[in-house]
Amino acid sequence: MTIRRWPIILAGCLLALPGARAAEPSPAPSFSKARVEWNAPQEPFRIYGNTWYVGPHGLSAILVDTGKGLALFDGDLPESAAQIEAHVRKLGLRVRDIKWILNSHAHADHAGGIAALQRASGAQVLASTEGAHEMKSGGADPADPQYGFGLTYTPVQQVRVVRDGEVLQLGNVAVTAHYTPGHTPGSTSWTWTSCEGARCLHMVYADSLTALAAPGYRFGDHPRYVAAFRRSIARIAALPCDILMTPHPGASDFWERVARRTSPDDAAALIDAGACRAYAAAAARALDAQLARERDAAK
């Protein structure tokens, strides 16, 4: 798998050409433009088995039908909530049947719509310890490397904390939480199994692994955080991984794989057993590059 990167700085992730020196962040203008592109319309569709894509084009929202309710991964931007709800209904499902909303990380482009979706569905929101803390603050967590961008949202007050490694059972689906701090202190990746007939695949919703920080934050000044970040990268690389999904679909070539499908039921185009390893390897290189830039800037 080839991980594509673009030379722009966005609030939710940094996608930079390898070896390029990052420009001084200008979060407000870039985020204003990016959120329009991220929230571009996208038809919902089946990924595999009981797993569906229900987000806008630029931000993933993944829906899993457990047989006893729906599990939704991420709520995207505040303005994405209406599109996600419409997509659920278009699939012939009911918004009020969403029982869980599980968050990857508590930035505005992945958690901003959760408060509205929780109100519409009555779902229980689930996140890591640090993720729940940041969600309750509406994205204003001083421990987050991106704190200072000022990209806040309606706080989510009722959040169930999920332990690292905890297995959650809803209907016939078991979802495992994997703490993967780095992009944010509360970043969490999620795994489950989806089946079609007798064929079951390992589904991975791996959180963002980009080392983006607001002005004034240096990863090199936080060696324990960097060490945890590296462990997260290694953890994602080691996951059983048939179909990789990420909060930003472009970070894992998701749309390129979808475009290769010969039919809506073509799973082969989406399957890549090396996808998680490639995603992690690209993240490790990007983190090393960010640390090198910080060292160069300090000279």
- Asked if 75 and 112 count as a contact pair (C-beta separation under 8 A), the reply is yes
Q: Which of 97, 202, 217, 225 is catalytic?
A: 217
Q: Which of 65, 74, 76, 109 is catalytic?
A: 109
Q: What is the pLDDT of residues 149-187, one digit of tens each?
A: 888 999 999 999 999 999 999 999 999 999 999 999 999
Is pLDDT above 90 for 5? no
Alpha carbon dihedral 34, 140, 18, 182, in 10-degree steps, equals -140
- What is the residue-averaged pLDDT of the chain? 91
Let me know if 141 is a catalytic residue. no
Residue 162 falls within a domain, yes or no?
Answer: yes
Residue 62 falls within a domain, yes or no?
Answer: yes
Let me know if 202 is a catalytic residue. no
Let me know if 133 is a catalytic residue. no
* N- to C-terminal Cα separation, the chain: 36
- How many Å apart are CA 234 and CA 283, to the nearest integer? 10
The continuous run of DSSP H or E covering 279 comes out as helix 275-298
Residue 262: Cβ within 10 Å count: 8
Look up the CATH number of the domain holding residue 153.
Answer: 3.60.15.10
- 107: DSSP letter: S
Residue 10 falls within a domain, yes or no?
Answer: no
Residue 23 falls within a domain, yes or no?
Answer: no
3-class state of residue 184 by DSSP: coil
Residue 119 falls within a domain, yes or no?
Answer: yes
Residue 15 falls within a domain, yes or no?
Answer: no
| Range 230-259 average pLDDT | 97
For the chain, how are helix, strand and coil distributed in percent, rounded to 5? 35, 20, 45
Let me know if 107 is a catalytic residue. yes
Q: Which of 105, 153, 178, 272 is catalytic?
A: 105
Residue 114 falls within a domain, yes or no?
Answer: yes
- How many structural domains are present in the chain? 1
| pTM for the full predicted model | 0.91
3-class state of residue 227 by DSSP: helix
Q: Which domain holds residue 90?
A: 41-298
pLDDT tier, 18 (very low <50, low <70, confident <90, very high otherwise):
very low
218 contacts: CB under 8 Å, gap ≥ 6 = 294
Using the Cα atoms of residue 146, residue 35, residue 31 and residue 118 in order, give the sign of their dihedral. negative
Q: Which of 248, 253, 272, 279 is catalytic?
A: 248
What is the structure's pLDDT at 28? Answer: 44
The crossing angle, in degrees rounded to 10, of helices 81-90 and 114-121 is: 40
Q: Which of 87, 107, 133, 178 is catalytic?
A: 107
- Asked if 270 and 47 count as a contact pair (C-beta separation under 8 A), the reply is yes
Let me know if 225 is a catalytic residue. no
Residue 209 falls within a domain, yes or no?
Answer: yes
What is the structure's pLDDT at 181? Answer: 98
